[in-house]
Structure 1
Amino acid sequence: MQENDARKLNQMFNRISNLIAAEKDYLTELDGAIGDADHGITMMLGFGAVASELARSDFEDLLPSAVMTTAASVFLNAVGASTGPLYATAFLRAAKTLEARQSLDAAGQVAMLQAITVGIQERGKGQRGDKTMLDTWIPAAEAGVAALERESGPGELWRDITAAGESGAAATRSMVAVRGRAARLGERSLGHVDPGAASAVLILKAMAEVFVD
């Protein structure tokens, strides 16, 4: 079970890498409006490095937690921007959570989602409404918990998660940034979707494709 789970996480990171690469220009365009116009490139480099490193791994005896620990280290080394420490902490939190679980079933997937969200919150000291990636991750995690409580199947569970994440990201258009580089713009950040929130939606979509398959 754990061997299969490790391979599933490898598939997840591969899918994230491919989707981020395909949407690199879109993310960079969003970041160009309120940031340094490098978010698409940064995310592509980070997840590309993770996918490349995992491609050299032997999954015969690799635990799911080890996959997440590797992802944290590689992403941090590849990304020097503020996004690096945020996702590195998130993946380390997820690794710790997975150490205590027997399976990456629906409950394990939601627990991982919650751990990623908590890791980002702890590292960035942010909250919903700050116009950051947390405006995607927090509602997505909450939707996952709610769907799990309703005993939803995998398809419904991940539809709810991604829909909540998409709604959260869209809501950043009407927010004024209070954290990160965009905060320097003040009211001028209004009317723009946060690029970190947008890339988080792509990550959720990639996760959904792998876990619903």
Structure 2
Amino acid sequence: MVTQVQIIEWLQVYAHVIEHHKDKLTELDAAIGDADHGSNMDRGFKKITNILPNFADQDISSIFKTVSMTLISSIGGASGPLYGTWFLRASAATAGKEALAEEDMLELLKSGLDGVIERGKAQLGDKTMVDVLSPAVTAFEQAIRNNLNIVAALQASVQAAEQGLKDTIPMLAKKGRASYLGDRSIGHQDPGGTSAYWMLRSLLEVVEGSGG
């Protein structure tokens, strides 16, 4: 089970990862985008860090909703709406849940992915964060169908996400600013996919560290 306390810790860890790697995200985005993904994500998650103390008495769904609204209002470009939508769908998927079992986490991950697809109009193979989130969801679902626990399922999910991220490098971008570059987008790792991978890996680290 993933608890409310672990959700808060996850957000804290992810914010730290973004801060630590913001220059890398900017570097990746400079190659095929506006060179602002690192600064945008860092700004948004610094605001999340600042309001973490307010989450102590909120349930999981409420936390996700607050995160969503904060990111949408503070992150520019496509990242704010996309990550905001992911967390908003996560909020809806966890309504009434005091802790998240395997099926609950699957519903959260599926709902987040569906929201990103609907908001960004991207599909698998378009060189976006969908190329990371989609295989992650598939791997998580397969793992729990094989009766693996939530830690093992997240391990499989993150492994699939990492491969999905690597697979974005040779892709031709079909969405966003990167798509304007045509063939020049080939050979670069997608920045949004990179931040999405770190989001999932941060969750795994928290759950793994506490034994699930």
Query: Counterpart of 1:5?
Result: 3
Q: How far apart, CA to CA, are the structure 2 residues paired with 1:125 and 1:160?
A: 26
Query: Counterpart of 1:38?
Result: 36
Question: Which of residues 81, 91, 103 is equivalent to 1:95?
Answer: 91
Corresponding pairs, count: 209
Q: How far apart, CA to CA, are the structure 2 residues paired with 1:100 and 1:118?
A: 20
Contact (CA 8 Å) 2:55, 2:63: kept in 1 or not? no
Query: Counterpart of 2:27?
Result: 29
Query: Counterpart of 2:12?
Result: 14
Residue 82 (str. 1) matches residue 89 (str. 2): no
Query: Counterpart of 1:113?
Result: 109
Query: Counterpart of 1:171?
Result: 167
Q: How far apart, CA to CA, are the structure 2 residues paired with 1:16 and 1:142?
A: 22
* Structure 2 residue matching 1:69: 3-state secondary structure: helix
Q: How far apart, CA to CA, are the structure 2 residues paired with 1:15 and 1:102?
A: 21
Contact (CA 8 Å) 1:10, 1:51: kept in 2 or not? no
* Structure 2 residue matching 1:152: 3-state secondary structure: coil
Q: CA deviation at 1:147?
A: 0.7
Query: Counterpart of 1:200?
Result: 196
Query: Counterpart of 1:156?
Result: 152
* Structure 2 residue matching 1:99: 3-state secondary structure: coil
Q: CA deviation at 1:73?
A: 0.5
Contact (CA 8 Å) 2:101, 2:150: kept in 1 or not? no
TM-score by length of 1: 0.93
Q: Unaligned 5+ residue runs, structure 2?
A: none
1:146-185 deviations in Å (ceiling 9; x for gaps):
1111111333212111110011111111111010010110
Q: Quick one: structure 1 residues 38 and 166, their matched pair in 2 at CA, closer, same or farther if it must change by over 3 Å?
A: same
Query: Which 4+ residue blocks in structure 1 deviate beyond 6 angstroms?
Result: none
Q: CA deviation at 1:205?
A: 0.7
Query: Counterpart of 1:211?
Result: 207
Query: Counterpart of 1:130?
Result: 126
Q: CA deviation at 1:115?
A: 1.5
Q: CA deviation at 1:100?
A: 4.9
Q: How far apart, CA to CA, are the structure 1 residues paired with 2:15 and 2:55?
A: 19
Q: CA deviation at 1:65?
A: 0.3
Q: How far apart, CA to CA, are the structure 2 residues paired with 1:101 and 1:6?
A: 9
Contact (CA 8 Å) 1:128, 1:138: kept in 2 or not? yes
Alpha-carbon RMSD across the aligned residues, in angstroms, is 1.5
TM-score by length of 2: 0.93
1:85-136 deviations in Å (ceiling 9; x for gaps):
1111111111111015453122222221111111111111111100001000
* Structure 2 residue matching 1:130: 3-state secondary structure: coil
Contact (CA 8 Å) 2:87, 2:112: kept in 1 or not? yes
* Structure 2 residue matching 1:23: 3-state secondary structure: helix
Letter in 1 for 2:59: L
Question: Which of residues 56, 61, 76 is equivalent to 1:59?
Answer: 56
Q: How far apart, CA to CA, are the structure 1 residues paired with 2:98 and 2:59?
A: 10
Contact (CA 8 Å) 2:60, 2:97: kept in 1 or not? no
Contact (CA 8 Å) 1:53, 1:74: kept in 2 or not? no
Letter in 2 for 1:76: I
